[in-house]
A and B are shown apart, each in its own frame.
Chain A
Amino acid sequence: MVVVHMSLLRRTLAVLGFAALAFPVGADAQLRQIVSKTVSASSAAATIELEFADDGALEITFDAGTVYVDGEAVGSYEPGNALDTAWRDMLADAMTLENGALAAMLVEWNAADHADGATDTVVEVDRAIDDALRVAQEQADAGSESAAMSVENRVTLLRALVGSANRLGALEEALEGIDARFEVHTEDVVVEEGSVVEGTVVVIGASLRVEGEIEGDAVVVGGALDIRESGVIGGQARIADTRMLRNDGEIRGGLVDVLEDEREVEATLRDRLREEIRAEIRNDLRTEIRNATRLEHDNGFSIMSPLRPVLRGVGGVLEKLILVFVLGLLGAGFLSFAGENMDAIAETARKAPGRSAMVGFAGSFLLIPVWILGAVALAVSIIGIPVAIAWLPLFPLAAALAALLGYVAVARNAGEWLADSNFPWTGWIRKSNPLVTLFGGLLGLTFAFMAGHVISIAPFLGVFAGLLFAIGAIITFFAMQIGFGAVILTRGGRKREYTGVYDPDAAWEAAMSVDIDDDLGPPPPSSEARDDDHVDRQEGGTDG
């Protein structure tokens, strides 16, 4: 730890700005630094790949009986023998180790200890590892003078700063505006819980853990800042090129990242790069997922398979519910504005379903010829041409409307039938409310479809689902035909030929299950008799 004044440090920084160019930067590690490690294994091969800080690399692979060093075959082994097993055991350990510990483990491991003899393969493997680590040892030896340092005086501070030459700019920015006396640390610092540090603490190239209190500022450059829950920084926490491990304590002066401006300058470029890469990755991923989903056609299996039936089934049910909702709204419109017409159509469909269906079939077949012939007939006259222009779009529209009206009328009949039935779940359908009856009927007509969708979610029930869909299609077809025929027969509900006239006697008989003719005396004369009697009375009257 060194206690300095700002002016001294600034002079130091100014000198170092030049000195850094001439001073060699010492190595920090005792062994060759491993910056990247890849350990992989399959049934056939087991590989370790190392990258070193000085750009060197090492790759050793045991693959199907052949040993490769940096891609070159150097020997052979029997898969599963002692050497193979020892190599794999060593790699299993290597998975959990990093950098120095990994290098140390590799130094200690010798293939010769695990083989039956010093074969060429064993020698080559040991030599490859030793060569890589011997270089590391030389580097450590060469760098030992500059790496070993104490931080008890200004010389060590100087060395520490030289070692952090690339951070001088950040350090100067971090210290800007701090004139107070402060402590500079180049090793990890822990402000323990309950302790109070007066003034400002500066940490360069090391970590600062705050569990107690720092009354002044905390400046960390090129290190890490870890503020625990009990930690308090009275001033600012100024960081530059620093990892913020935790921020669970209290920073009264706020957290200042002095390199934030630089980050913003880089932001534009970064965002652009990110967008490009994101788009690239997204496209790749979509392609991959698309390919995966196509597997259903390739080999009957897909990663989407488990989810697709559920989505399809739920989507199908939802689709039918929306259809029921839309048709119900249309039906409500018909009930409001053409209630009597709808009554006539529904009554006709109920009393003469066969006739209505036949007329509906015929009407369906004749729709297109009538549409074309009507247009031609209108177009042959000059007066008819404007009408033909209207005819072309309006006729299909009218036909569609007629079909919808007919279907909704049949649905209402179906709703009434369901209301009278003893089926479970139909108790809510009340005939007194035509809208509820209508919705009930629509649900009834589409029930087979919805049941099919639900069943299709379950595996191995595709046959039943298909059967239900077929039943639903047949019901829909006949409902449409009967409804359309009823619309035609009643001329859109204006002609009540098939609705019948209210007969109070018949209604009484049906309600009381009695024959009023037996109760009231001799049967009334037949219509012919009534006609004859009427004629006789007319004739008698004339005579009289």
Chain B
Amino acid sequence: MGRALCLAAGLMVFVPIGAQGQSWRTVTMSRQLQSNEDVRVFVRYGAGHFTVRSVDEGLLYRMNLEYDEDRFEPLADYSGNRLRLGLESVGRNINLKGRDTGSLELELARGIPMDLDLEFGAVRAEIDLGGLALTDLDLSTGASESVVDVSQLNPAAMSAASFEVGAAQFTVRRLGNLNAERIEVSAGVGSITLGLDGRWQRDARIGIEMGLGSLELHVPEGLGLRLRKDSFLTALDSEGLIKRGDVYESLDFDSAERRVVIDLDAAFGSVAVVWIR
């Protein structure tokens, strides 16, 4: 799949050029995997289409970029088990006038213990963390439309993962596969969907801070859910939950094999719990 994308991108760009704007450049970068030691990965990307997935071809990473070379330059620095990737601005401003924004397709080594830090601004992001052995995850996004999918179980245990979302439409799928003990979600304005499906390896806590917007929790039947809500003007659709004191719990919370406790701090908006079979 990755190769097919590379080939497609290559065919589009490497055929005699002339139709494309002069300042647009396509770059493919990759680095071989030389050790199995932990690697810390920092990815920053301002605007465009952003995808992340795992790769299992003996590569530490492979990155396909399309960008305006008058305004940006690629960032790919690996030293001391520290990998910095992305796109840097070389001018004063980002000029996106008259052209679609660029793109960044990133593939990261499957199975390498990895501390992943993703920061991106106004992007459309499709991030598949399945296959990555994440020991730490920090995801920060500005005004984006992001889908994060943990398609496979994270083989490395993670103590905490954090998602910091500005004004965005943000979706996380199969959060259970993240294998994290604690997950923090901080959202400003927007629509947040958290899929609590996946293979939970342990009980977990999820802290959600939300300013203005809607939050939808997709909860698989059989997962014990406890929701503690501290909100100002937030409507809660608590179907399938019963209220016990200050908290809402699923009917089988006490007997569930895995339990997730959610601390919700929301100002304005709505919270809905959707049960999935």
Contacts and interface: CB of A to CB of B under 8 A. Distances in A.
| A, B co-complexed | yes
Contacts of A288: 46, 89, 94, 121
Interface in B12-38: 13-18, 20-32, 34-38
Interface string B135-167: 110101011000000001101100000000001
A244 B27 contact: no
Interface stretch (B104-112, B222-230, B244-252, B253-261): B104-112
Interface in A16-55: 33-44, 46, 53
A92 to B, nearest CB: 4
B23 to A, nearest CB: 7
Contact of B121 (A270, A285, A301): A285
Contacts of A245: 56, 110-111, 131, 155
B122 A270 contact: no
Contact of A303 (B6, B23, B121): B121
Interface in B96-139: 96-97, 101, 109-113, 115, 117, 119-122, 131, 133, 135-136, 138
A34 B32 contact: yes
Interface stretch (A119-127, A292-300, A482-490): A292-300
B122 A274 contact: no
Contact of A273 (B40, B142, B212): B40
Contacts of B243: none
A224 B35 CA distance: 11
B229 to A, nearest CB: 21
A88 B10 CA distance: 9
Contact of A91 (B14, B25, B121): B14
Contacts of B181: none
A299 B110 contact: no
B69 interface: yes
A515 interface: no
A243 interface: yes
Interface in A280-338: 281-282, 284-285, 288-289, 291-292, 294-295, 298-299, 301, 303-304, 307, 311, 318
Contact of A95 (B10, B17, B111): B10
Given A95-B28, A274-B115, A301 B97 contact: yes
Contact of B9 (A95, A247, A278, A292): A95
Contacts of A298: 93
Contact of B138 (A33, A95, A244, A278): A278
B94 A246 contact: no
Contacts of A289: 46, 121-122, 142
B16 A88 contact: yes
A537 interface: no
Interface string B29-57: 11110111110101010110000000011
A99 interface: yes
Interface residues of B, number: 81
Contacts of B93: 291-292, 294-295, 298
Nearest to B2: A96
Given A43-B22, A98-B57, A244-B133, A303 B34 contact: no
Given A35-B34, A303-B94, A40 B44 contact: no
Nearest to A226: B111
A248 B156 CA distance: 12
How big is the A interface, by class?
A: 35 or more
A274 B96 contact: no
A274 B9 CA distance: 33
A11 B56 CA distance: 36
A427 to B, nearest CB: 24
Contacts of B109: 243
Nearest to A325: B233
B249 to A, nearest CB: 30
A281 B75 CA distance: 12
A353 interface: no
Given A42-B25, A92-B14, A295 B32 contact: no
A437 interface: no
A89 interface: yes
Nearest to B65: A40
A94 B243 CA distance: 60
B7 A92 contact: yes
B38 A263 contact: yes
Contact of B23 (A42, A88, A98): A42
B47 A40 contact: no
B155 A42 contact: no
Contacts of A301: 96-97
Contacts of B34: 35, 53
A241 B111 contact: no
Given A299-B97, A318-B268, 7 more contacts: A41-B13, A42-B25, A92-B10, A243-B109, A281-B119, A288-B94, A318-B212
Interface of B: 3, 6-7, 9-11, 13-18, 20-32, 34-38, 40, 42, 44, 46-47, 56-59, 64, 69, 76, 78, 82, 84, 88-89, 92-97, 101, 109-113, 115, 117, 119-122, 131, 133, 135-136, 138, 140, 142-143, 152-153, 155-156, 167, 189, 212, 268
